[in-house]
Chains A and B, each alone.
Chain A
Amino acid sequence: LAKTTQPISMDSYEGQEVNITCSHNNIATNDYITWYQQFPSQGPRFIIQGYKTKVTNEVASLFIPADRKSSTLSLPRVSLSDTAVYYCLVATYSSASKIIFGSGTRLSIRP
């Protein structure tokens, strides 16, 4: 079971780039890395997913080193609306019961 470790909280300012790192030392060969965003009183929202190297979409980038033991979510030019909890998830559908979320990182963006 790939356990994930993330910082409990982070602070940044509007317009800055924010990088949130997740450690997953015992990731399995078939595991993918997925990041979610959750606002208060809402369900989590899928942000980005990757297996190795770099993935980029319209809202974020995901950097995964060759050993895949960690991953970094990069949010470019954050705004106040990016204040949320961010979850890193490592799992595969071959073991759906092991799709377990960690405690997440509470990101606070200041003006």
Chain B
Amino acid sequence: DAGITQSPRYKITETGRQVTLMCHQTWSHSYMFWYRQDLGHGLRLIYYSAAADITDKGEVSDGYVVSRSKTENFPLTLESATRSQTSVYFCASSEPTGLAGGPGFFGPGTRLTVL
């Protein structure tokens, strides 16, 4: 199916564990993003990538690591999960020529709980 998928959709982990959230898009969009959304708040940018092997930090990148070896995949890793990282995580993608100024498509989200 065409689109953007995230896995897992729900994850419960413990403080100190490493967790990887997966994101896959089928359009070959050059830009990909990771956002987190906390209850009752807007979205905050964690990391973004302009192309394969090109990544950069957003406003809340501490404690997170990303990689992008292939255009279609953009995994997000929490190196040592903390309770403050309990959140809903959204992956997004865009082609800048098609939509200047904002992510065009969002995934369904991963709800992460850190105990």
A interface, CB within 8 angstroms of B: 31-34, 36, 41-46, 49, 87, 89-93, 96-97, 99-104
Contact = CB atoms under 8 A, between A and B. Distances in A.
B107 A99 contact: no
Rank and list the top 7 A-B pairs by shortest CB-CB distance, nearest first.
A43-B106, A32-B101, A34-B102, A93-B96, A101-B43, A101-B42, A91-B101
A47 B87 CA distance: 24
Contacts of B42: 87, 101-104
Interface of B: 31, 33, 35, 41-45, 48, 50, 56-59, 90, 92, 96, 99-109
Contact of B99 (A34, A90, A97): A34
Contacts of B58: 97
A89 to B, nearest CB: 5
Contact of A49 (B99, B106, B107): B99
Contacts of A87: 42-43
A43 B109 contact: yes
B96 A45 contact: no
A97 B101 CA distance: 11
A33 B101 contact: yes
Contact of A93 (B35, B101, B105): B101
Contacts of B108: 42-43
Nearest to A41: B109
26 contacts: A31-B101, A32-B100, A32-B101, A32-B102, A33-B101, A34-B99, A34-B102, A36-B102, A41-B109, A42-B109, A43-B90, A43-B92, A43-B106, A43-B109, A45-B106, A49-B100, A87-B42, A96-B31, A97-B48, A99-B102, A99-B103, A100-B44, A100-B45, A101-B42, A101-B44, A103-B41
